[in-house]
C-alpha cells in the first residue's frame, strides 16, 4: 500500500489530521478502496485502553444522568411513532430557527445572498472529491447552498457551493475565484452554525488553503457533531486557525435556512 497513505492513517489514529491532510487522505483512500481505514485507529484504541486501570473511573452521577436522558430522547425520536426532531448532542431542545442571526455581523454579510446566481453542480467528470460531492448532493436529506460574498476581498468573486448532510456528517465545499492564500500568513477556516448550538459557538469545520486558479473542492470535517446545519461561513484566520473567530474577515457565507426559504 502507498507509504503516504500509511503515514496519514497513522497520524489520524494518533494525533489527528488538519483539513489539507484530511483531503489528501480521502484522495488516497479513493485510490486504495481495499484499505482498512480504521485498522490503525483500532490499534491505537487498544493501546490507549492498555494504559487505563483495569477498573476505569466511574462516570460522575450527574453526567450519567445526562447520558441516560440523551439516550431516552434519542430512542424516543428514533421510534416510528415519534414525530419529534432528533435531539441535540447536549440533550437540549433545538433553539428557535434563525438564532444565529443574533450576530449582527453575520446578518449583514448574509443579507447579500440573494444577489448571487445559483450555480449548477458541475456535470463533467472531475477529481474523486467532485464525484463524492456529487453523490452526496444526490443523497436524501442533503443540502446544497451557493456561496455568497461575506465582505472580505478574498471572497468577493467567489462562485461555488457547499453540500452537506446532517445525517452523514459529511460535506464538501466547492470554490471558484476564492483568492489564493499564503499558508504561512493566513488560512481559511470553515465554521458551521448548528441549530442546536449557540450562535456564538459555531462548530469548527477546519482550516484549508487555496492555490491559484481553477476549481477547488475541500471536504468538510466538522470537529463536533452537527445536528442541523443552518449556516456555513468561511473566515480568514491566522495559520492553523483559531478557536473563536473575531469574525472580522468573512470570505463567504452559505445560509441553509435562507436557501430553504
Give the residues lining the site for other proteins (CB under 8 A). Answer: 6-7, 10-11, 13-16, 18, 36, 38-61, 63-64, 66-68, 70-72, 74-75, 78-79, 87, 89-91, 203-204, 221, 223-225, 240-243
Residue 108 CB, shortest distance to other proteins, in Å, is: 26
Among 251, 29, 260, smallest CA distance to 129 is for: 29
Residue 49 CB, shortest distance to other proteins, in Å, is: 5
Cell numbers linked to 223? 470537529
Residue 78 CB, shortest distance to other proteins, in Å, is: 7
Chain centre to alpha carbon of residue 28: 20
Measured from the CB atom, the residue of 68 and 260 that comes closer to other proteins is 68
Q: Which residue spans within 29-158 are E strands per DSSP? A: 143-146, 148-149
Q: Exposure pattern of 98-110 as b/e (b: 16+ CB <10 Å)?
A: ebbbebeebeebb
Measured from the CB atom, the residue of 116 and 224 that comes closer to other proteins is 224
Burial class (CB in 10 A: 0-12, 13-18, 19+), 193: buried
Measured from the CB atom, the residue of 40 and 259 that comes closer to other proteins is 40
Distances (CA, A) of 34 to 44, 94, 120, 126, 213: 20, 40, 33, 22, 33
Measured from the CB atom, the residue of 20 and 156 that comes closer to other proteins is 20
Measured from the CB atom, the residue of 186 and 215 that comes closer to other proteins is 186
Angle (CA) 224-88-18 rounded to 5° is 5
* Cα–Cα distance measured from residue 199 to residue 229, given in angstroms and rounded to the nearest whole number: 11
Residue 15 CB, shortest distance to other proteins, in Å, is: 5
Write the DSSP symbol of residue 88: P
Residue 195 CB, shortest distance to other proteins, in Å, is: 15
Measured from the CB atom, the residue of 204 and 257 that comes closer to other proteins is 204
Residue 224 CB, shortest distance to other proteins, in Å, is: 7
Residues in CB range of 247: below 8 A, 6 or more apart: 103, 105, 106, 235
Amino acid at each position: 500500500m502507498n507509504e503516504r497513505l500509511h503515514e496519514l492513517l497513522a497520524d489520524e489514529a494518533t494525533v489527528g489530521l488538519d483539513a489539507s491532510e484530511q483531503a489528501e487522505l480521502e484522495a488516497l483512500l479513493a485510490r486504495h478502496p481495499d484499505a482498512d481505514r480504521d485498522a490503525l485507529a483500532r490499534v491505537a484504541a487498544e493501546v490507549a485502553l492498555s494504559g487505563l486501570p483495569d477498573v476505569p473511573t466511574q462516570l460522575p452521577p450527574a453526567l450519567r444522568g445526562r447520558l441516560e436522558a440523551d439516550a431516552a430522547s434519542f430512542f424516543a425520536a428514533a421510534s416510528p411513532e415519534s414525530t419529534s426532531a432528533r435531539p441535540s448532542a447536549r440533550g437540549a431542545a433545538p433553539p428557535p430557527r434563525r438564532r444565529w442571526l443574533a450576530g449582527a455581523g453575520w446578518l449583514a454579510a448574509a443579507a447579500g445572498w440573494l444577489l448571487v446566481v445559483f450555480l449548477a453542480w458541475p456535470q463533467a467528470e472531475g477529481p474523486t472529491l467532485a464525484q463524492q460531492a456529487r453523490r452526496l448532493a444526490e443523497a436524501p436529506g442533503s443540502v446544497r447552498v451557493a456561496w455568497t460574498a461575506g465582505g472580505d476581498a478574498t471572497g468577493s468573486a467567489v462562485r461555488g457551493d457547499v453540500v452537506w448532510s446532517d445525517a452523514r456528517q459529511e460535506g464538501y465545499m466547492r470554490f471558484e475565484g476564492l483568492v489564493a492564500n499564503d499558508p504561512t500568513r493566513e488560512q481559511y477556516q470553515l465554521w458551521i452554525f448548528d441549530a442546536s448550538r449557540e450562535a456564538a459557538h459555531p462548530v469548527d469545520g477546519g482550516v484549508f488553503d487555496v492555490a491559484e486558479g481553477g476549481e477547488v473542492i475541500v471536504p468538510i470535517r466538522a470537529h463536533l457533531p452537527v445536528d442541523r446545519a443552518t449556516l456555513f461561513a468561511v473566515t480568514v484566520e491566522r495559520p492553523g486557525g483559531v478557536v473563536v473567530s473575531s469574525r472580522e474577515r468573512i470570505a463567504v457565507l452559505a445560509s441553509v435556512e435562507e436557501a430553504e426559504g
